Copies of this chain bind each other. A is one copy, B any other.
Amino acid sequence: MHLHHHPFCPHSRFVRLLLSEYGLEPTLVEERVWERRPDFLMLDPAGATPVLVEPNGFAVPGATIIGEYIDETRGASYGDRRMLPVDIGARVEVRRLAAWFNDKFFLEVSEPLVREKIFKRFMPREFGGGPPDMQAIRAARANVRYHLQYIGWLLKARNWLAGDRLSYADLAAAAHISCVDYLGDVPWDEDETARTWYARIKSRPSFRPLLAVTMAGIPPSATYADLDF
């Protein structure tokens, strides 16, 4: 399989974690989506990362759709390790929380921070590049606090975000938080339970390739790759 991704696209990170947890190792193809590469637009007219491409050329676009697709094509073979559970009620809870991070956290925190601090440096000015908008950064930094509190609140009664077992919800949350953590914008003193959960997921082998990511000119925060942060 090929995965068209960007190292700082949080939805791409979610899919990388998901594939790695299932022992699937795609070939990574880095896309700068703002270049609107014609061959990439043929794969996905929406022109957004991630896009998963099967060896036969079949393309699956978008984190949520890739999650459903992998579950439908491979999920059953993982038994107890299946990350979208079989029980209908549990599926709704996993999807609710995965969407919380892939949609809501993205909009309120990870998208503005990654856009303002990373993508705008590389985008030509006519596509929205330029200096960061400090107001957008401040708003995102304020928003991240209530999301950490929500994670801490969920974990009062649960082992993982959506229940007893690791699920898409944890991978989505950790994928988005990892981008924000690279930039040093996660206030880890906000919620001790959330910090402990992140330390646990960050220690998983699936996380290692993400922790090895660096971007020239934008060094990671001091504790980004530190398992004992």
Contacts and interface: CB of A to CB of B under 8 A. Distances in A.
Q: Which of A65, A99, A150 has the most CB of B within 10 A?
A: A65
SS class of chain A's interface: helix, strand, loop or mixed?
helix
A58 B89 contact: yes
Interface residues of A, number: 22
Count copies of this chain in the complex: 2
B61 A96 contact: yes
Contact of A100 (B46, B92, B100): B46
A45 B150 contact: yes
Nearest to A48: B104
A52 to B, nearest CB: 10
A104 B45 CA distance: 11
Given A45-B150, A72-B91, A73-B88, 5 more contacts: A46-B100, A46-B104, A65-B92, A65-B99, A69-B88
Interface of A: 45-46, 58, 60-62, 64-65, 68-69, 72-73, 88-89, 91-92, 95-96, 99-100, 104, 150
